[in-house]
Amino acid sequence: MTKKIITYGTFDMFHIGHLNLLKRIYEFGDELIVGVSTDEFNATKGKKSLIPFEQRAQIVEAIQYVSKVIPEQSWEQKKHDIIDLNIDIFVIGDDWKGKFDHLEDICRVIYLPRTEGVSTSLLKSSLNSIRNISKQDLINAFDILDRLRKDLE
């Protein structure tokens, strides 16, 4: 009998943490369905993705562990998806621990640890730090590098 698993996420700026999570989730069953948060749903959560929904969905769908991608459009959708798609196991990152225990009456709920040292939030924070560097500081840095290069020649 096929064991169906479902997970949800935004999957913005797809990184090794996302891949590791999907691989570990897939190990719990035979068919992995992934709900990718739409841009509209992210807006209701106060989030803005750098990569549009359609592209994020295509990236996730291309992962060998993923059988199917569906749009995640609301919090309430999870319960309906689990019932409609005959899901056996709901798996999500442990940063959500306890938030989906109410689904245990219709399927098994598992919270998995995230990959240490990598997250979309960390990547976005790094990008924001780079954006905050002044134009003059960048010019000065390039001048210093140019002088160093000339000294080494």
Contact 83, 45 (CB under 8 A): no
pLDDT surpasses 80 at 110: yes
Among the options 3, 4, 23, 47, which is catalytic? Answer: 47
Among the options 3, 4, 23, 45, which is catalytic? Answer: 45
DSSP state of 114: P
Residue 129: its pLDDT value, please? 57
| Active site (annotated) includes residue 45 | yes
101 vs 45: CA distance, rounded Å: 20
Residue 153: its pLDDT value, please? 77
Say what the pTM is: 0.76
What pLDDT, in 10s, does the model give residues 21-32?
Answer: 999 999 999 999
- Give me the percent of the chain exceeding a pLDDT of 90: 59
74 vs 61: CA distance, rounded Å: 20
What pLDDT, in 10s, does the model give residues 120-146?
Answer: 555 445 455 555 666 676 677 677 777
Domain ranges of the chain: 4-117, 119-153
Contact 135, 38 (CB under 8 A): no
Residue 124: its pLDDT value, please? 46
123 CB-near residues (< 8 Å, 6+ apart) = 13, 15
Structure tokens at 132: 């905050």
**Domain boundaries 4-117, corresponding CATH code:** 3.40.50.620
Contact 86, 1 (CB under 8 A): no
E strand residue ranges, the chain = 4-9, 31-37, 68-72, 89-93, 108-112
